[in-house]
Structure 1
């Protein structure tokens, strides 16, 4: 069965909901197709102790402030899931859960979105699938030889499953620091390794300042001024309270990256070896764009060239929430609102007779 609408939004997480909010305000007929069976996007699959980098009032989608979580300055993932579920319901967004998009094809003047529940034909498509389903694992020597447990950030849940084990955490970003702190507080035998010494942002800097910095950088680049370096120039790790406490207690002392994995553990650059029960890779993600492969838009670096959120070679397609290349801080709750608004306005212009 084939259905028809003006706009198909692919993904019902924070970016898809922000797009839906602005499309609804403009009176544009649309549907949001979400592979998840329940509201909350990727947030419903994160570990229990995960904290946002910003207070609730600075972590909101357009039109609806996130309520403060009692007793928490920085809300946890469960609070975000509740907020997104309420947001979806409050604005009566047309989300269809449990629908997996397989591919987007050109179909004359329309785009055809093929799913496991039939096809949709639309005049425009917003891809908002994020990165959570594409964890990145680096090609470290010996990774396929190691016989212990390996898992990425996406599979980490709780320190209890590592009780009595020797664990190595790889990655010097926020996920690595938060998981290292989580295990350290639980007295798990933990070694944290990073490519370079950890770079903490000043304790008074959180997501509010990061969003402002990313926005200022984008405006400078658009005006032809010198690149300020983006948020990476400030540091890599936001010192949320659990991370700050572990750091100040001397529990977050990072070691340089090991040279290779062995069958039983790791080998360090000086030739010494250590047995390890588990390795947690906190090594980031890649954009989930496989459903757009048939459009043949990806460049040599795997990205799709865009002007703002609009695909340069396919003006009926907008990409939302994949990082700074689709809008300043667009992969964050507070940052996705502005590019979602701009995308909706461009789509309205495209649809106008």
Structure 2
């Protein structure tokens, strides 16, 4: 794989990778984006069919490239994928598709990046921007090995028609769990299994979408370390449809079941119920296994970093980690702010800033 040794390799060609590429270019360095998929749109084409953004178009844009159409609408999955593809053309950076990174090692004056086709390349600097979709969080459930129904993560869910007439339990209390349970309930009998009651947050307040208040109040910029003290439970953004559906019995909420059995679940009151499908909407973990050979991750596979700057390897930075620097760090609206923070520091290091002062 021919890449000049002075290039900055960016792993991931979705919103985070493209934000990083623009920042690398603007800091006078040469970005090369390696994207595993067939389009420079990251994981968006692989999300479930009905997914829409929880933020309006006006709050879902990359710098100097407004999202087209009505700024108050909520863009669909396909619209976001198309938008990112156009943004890649707009910034004019090199993107190599069908290029999955499998491992990164330390090399002389930089890194050695290995790909699934058996090739490798050297890079002066590295931006890990591969998101989390490729690493779904799969909790081990008591009795799951005995369960003969379908057990899958929402990453593998696409649309509801195949579940018509079935009994489905969706595990999770966040946005995706509720959105999927809501649409499945059109064709199936659905329960939402959660540890705590679902917490709804109005999508609109005082004549504005919530994201107006996130931006004007500064909440969008609050540091991640503070958010654990503020956000006690997952919040589901709701225009009223989801809470109304739950209250009307379109789907119901049950305390998390205690175990799976061969043909279903055991609820907390001891009742055993036959279930066809258990759908896990249990979130994702950083998709960074390719950094294990480098020694940049902790024992649980999480990156060792401070605000997106690797604390183990100079020359390595991250973009798109959840709560990396703020509430909006891994969103379309937030990734560019983080890229504009970490990339100038990377550029300073690659520009021999330590040598310039005699270190």
1:56 aligns with 2:71: no
Residue number in structure 1 paired with 2:356? none
Quote the offset at 1:47 in angstroms: 1.2
Contact between 2:37 and 2:97, CA under 8 Å: does it hold in 1?
yes
Q: In terms of mean alpha carbon deviation, does 208-217 or 167-176 score higher?
A: 208-217
1:131 aligns with 2:137: no
> Matched residues in 1 for 2:286 and 2:234: separation?
23
1:69 to 1:132, Cα distance in 2 relative to 1, 3 A: farther
Match of 2:79, SS? Answer: helix
Quote the offset at 1:137 in angstroms: 1.5
Contact between 2:219 and 2:327, CA under 8 Å: does it hold in 1?
no
1:242 to 1:49, Cα distance in 2 relative to 1, 3 A: farther
Mapping for residues 227-306 of structure 1, pairs under 5 Å: 227=226, 229=228, 232-233=231-232, 236-240=235-239, 242-243=241-242, 246-247=245-246, 249-306=248-305
1:241 to 1:59, Cα distance in 2 relative to 1, 3 A: farther
Contact between 2:200 and 2:243, CA under 8 Å: does it hold in 1?
no
Residue number in structure 2 paired with 1:23? 24
> Matched residues in 1 for 2:233 and 2:173: separation?
14
CA offsets per residue over residues 38-86 of structure 1, 9 Å max, x none? 232111011121111110010112221111369x721111110111111
Choose which of 213, 222, 235 in structure 1 pairs with 2:219: 213
* Unaligned runs of at least 5 residues, structure 2: 353-359
Residue number in structure 2 paired with 1:13? 14
Contact between 1:214 and 1:231, CA under 8 Å: does it hold in 2?
no
Contact between 2:10 and 2:127, CA under 8 Å: does it hold in 1?
yes
Quote the offset at 1:328 in angstroms: 4.1
Contact between 2:189 and 2:251, CA under 8 Å: does it hold in 1?
no
Quote the offset at 1:171 in angstroms: 0.5
> Matched residues in 2 for 1:90 and 1:325: separation?
26
Residue number in structure 2 paired with 1:332? 331
Quote the offset at 1:305 in angstroms: 2.2
How many residue pairs align between the two structures? 344
Return the TM-score normalized by structure 2.
0.89
> Matched residues in 2 for 1:248 and 1:208: separation?
28
Match of 1:325, SS? Answer: coil
CA offsets per residue over residues 95-120 of structure 1, 9 Å max, x none? 11000111111112121111134222
1:190 to 1:32, Cα distance in 2 relative to 1, 3 A: same
Residue number in structure 2 paired with 1:177? 178
Match of 1:346, SS? Answer: helix
Match of 2:146, SS? Answer: coil
Residue number in structure 1 paired with 2:357? none
Residue number in structure 2 paired with 1:321? 320
Residue number in structure 2 paired with 1:89? 89
> Matched residues in 2 for 1:102 and 1:234: separation?
34
Quote the offset at 1:304 in angstroms: 2.2
* Unaligned runs of at least 5 residues, structure 1: 222-226
Match of 1:314, SS? Answer: coil
Match of 2:252, SS? Answer: coil
1:233 to 1:257, Cα distance in 2 relative to 1, 3 A: closer
> Matched residues in 1 for 2:85 and 2:299: separation?
37
Residue number in structure 1 paired with 2:355? none
> Matched residues in 1 for 2:290 and 2:76: separation?
31
Match of 2:123, SS? Answer: strand
Match of 1:47, SS? Answer: coil
> Matched residues in 1 for 2:268 and 2:8: separation?
53
Match of 1:18, SS? Answer: helix
Contact between 2:289 and 2:301, CA under 8 Å: does it hold in 1?
no
> Matched residues in 1 for 2:325 and 2:114: separation?
24
Computed over aligned residues only, the root mean square deviation of the Cα atoms, in angstroms, reads 2.2
Residue number in structure 2 paired with 1:224? none
Residue number in structure 2 paired with 1:102? 102
> Matched residues in 1 for 2:264 and 2:299: separation?
35
